[in-house]
Structure formats: structure tokens, C-alpha cells
Amino acid sequence: MEKYIDLHCHSVHSEGKLNVQGLLMLAKKNQIKALALTDHNSISGVAELLKLSKKFGIEALTGVELYVQYQGRPLHLLGYNFAIDNPALNKAINGLQEKNIDNVKKSVNSLREQGFKIKTTDIINQKSCNYGVIHLLMALEKYPENIAKINRELTTAKREFFNKVGFYFGQGKPAHLPLVELPIKQGIDIIKQCGGFTSLAHPGQQLNFEQDTVILELKKMGLDGLETLSPYHTWHQIEHYQNLALTNNLLMTGGSDYHSDIDFSKEKLVHRQWDYFKVPYVFFENIKIILKKDKKL
């Protein structure tokens, strides 16, 4: 039987729909043998993952996905194999979460000014430690009067999730919810101080091939790897970033970026990322060889 890994997935501790146990159950069904929980700006589910993973026969790796920026460009930084009780890491993450809640409050106030019924507690009483527009939209749609207002303001064709997000929370909109980011050098340094390693998440989503120099600059800052296998990448991008990693001595990581099953109103062809996209276990074997060589495992 083939074995797979997933080094990029989310739970209810950020924008995912499943709790940690539910994620492990689903991973086991999909032959995932190594898993990293990489919630956005949150490590609150990692201890539970480490505790439960052995029951499911899954190797667990500590993980996080930090929102970062480099020269004004938003990027996502994956951190792995770090000590979760490190004071510097927890201080940085707590600071990000506090700023996130401040931004949520501003967005809620704007939505109320627009005539929506919504309370800050509708959002911050949820399990997540990092709130995104999905939490705001879910809170809005708890109230029938808000759904009626959305239906008046948007045509049927414009009521799809991302259209609603763009209409109410897009850049420049009054209720826009900005991401809370760290300078990427600070993110890299913190993960390394905790004994971990870093990988640039889905580079093809934020960068084009002409911007490979950005990745080389980040390598000089201490970046360890690239997420070469991602559902956000085309086959051409996968090939390109694998070659870039190999020629520049960067670790290769991969993952589904799983948040939830895909919910289509029409017939489902693909139900979840793992139905068409899986990362072979050999990726994890190669990572473990390097970590053992560097005495980090």
C-alpha cells in the first residue's frame, strides 16, 4: 500500500473546519503516514496532534504557517520541528493573535455600520486562535436578516463564497480584514531559535518565475526549504520549484493546504484535495535524513 504525507493542513485552531482528532481520522483514511498541523499564526492544536497521532499510526511533526512579508510583499512561511514551549515563539504568536482580534473588532464595527447584525463575540468565541474572513462570513450568516441583506445586495451569480468575500472584505472595502504579518527574517529566526526549520509555502501562489531572486535572498536569510508540491501549483510550477530547490540545496516539502472538504452545489467531481493530490512518503524520508545529519531529529 502506498504511503503519503501532508506537511500543510489546518484545523479549527485557524481556518480549518475539523478538530485535530477529526483531521487525524481523515488523514488515516487517506493513507497519510506523516502529518504536520500548520495552522495560521497558531500552534494551539499541535500538542494535541503530538498526543493523539500515535493512536492513528501517524508520525507527527510540529508545524505552523506564519503570515510574513518581505519588502512589502505578503508571503507564507511554514515552520517545522520546533519546540512548542519556546518563549520567543509563543510571544510572537500571541502578539500576532492580539493584533488579529483588534482587526476583527474594527471589521465588525464596520459591518454594523453597514446595517448588519453581528457581535464581536460571534467570532472570538469560536475555537480558532486566528480569525479570517471565513469566520466573519460565518458569523454574518448566523442571522437570517443578514442573509436577506446579502441576497438583496448580491445577484444569485455573485453569492459564491469568494465573491462574497471580495464584495464585503476585499482590499479597500470598509470591513476589510488585513492579515497580521511578521517580517520574514524575524519568522525564520524565531523558528530556528526553537530548533526548527522553515519552508516557503506555495511559492507559485505569491511569486512568478522572474522573482526567483526573492527565494535566493530568503535562503541567505536562513530559509531552509520550498513547498514544491502544492495544489496551488501547476505541473510546470512543480517542476520549476523542484529544480530550484535541487540546484540551491533547499529542502523540498509538500502538502495539501487542507482546510475542509470542497462543498459544491452541483455534482461533486473532486471532494477534497487528497482525492487528486498526494505527497509521496519519500519526501518525508529525505527530510528526516537531513534532520538527522544536522542533529535536529
275 in the same domain as 135: no
The predicted structure's pLDDT at residue 2: 84
SS3 of 166, please?
A: helix
Residue 293 has pLDDT above 90, yes or no: no
Cβ within 8 Å of residue 17, ≥6 positions away = 259, 260, 261
Indicate the number of domains in the chain. Answer: 2
195 in the same domain as 82: yes
* Cβ–Cβ < 8 Å for 8, 254: yes
* Cβ–Cβ < 8 Å for 229, 279: yes
289 in the same domain as 187: yes
For 126-183, write each residue's pLDDT tens digit: 778 899 999 999 899 999 999 999 999 999 888 888 899 999 999 999 999 999 999 9
Residue 296 has pLDDT above 80, yes or no: no
* Domain end position, chosen among 148, 169, 190: 169
SS3 of 227, please?
A: strand
Residue 174 in any domain: the answer is no
Cβ within 8 Å of residue 269, ≥6 positions away = none
**CA–CA separation, 188 and 66 (whole Å):** 10
Residue 29 has pLDDT above 70, yes or no: yes
The three-point CA angle 14-169-147 to 5° equals 90
pTM for the structure as a whole: 0.92
**CA–CA separation, 112 and 121 (whole Å):** 13
125 in the same domain as 68: no
> What's the whole-number average pLDDT of the chain?
92
* Domain end position, chosen among 134, 169, 204: 169
* Domain end position, chosen among 169, 196, 221: 169
59 — pLDDT class (breaks 50, 70, 90): very high
**CA–CA separation, 252 and 240 (whole Å):** 12
CATH number for the domain harbouring residue 247: 3.20.20.140
Residue 223 in any domain: the answer is yes
Residue 106 in any domain: the answer is yes
What domain range includes position 185?
A: 4-92+181-293
The predicted structure's pLDDT at residue 267: 64
Residue 215 in any domain: the answer is yes
The predicted structure's pLDDT at residue 200: 98
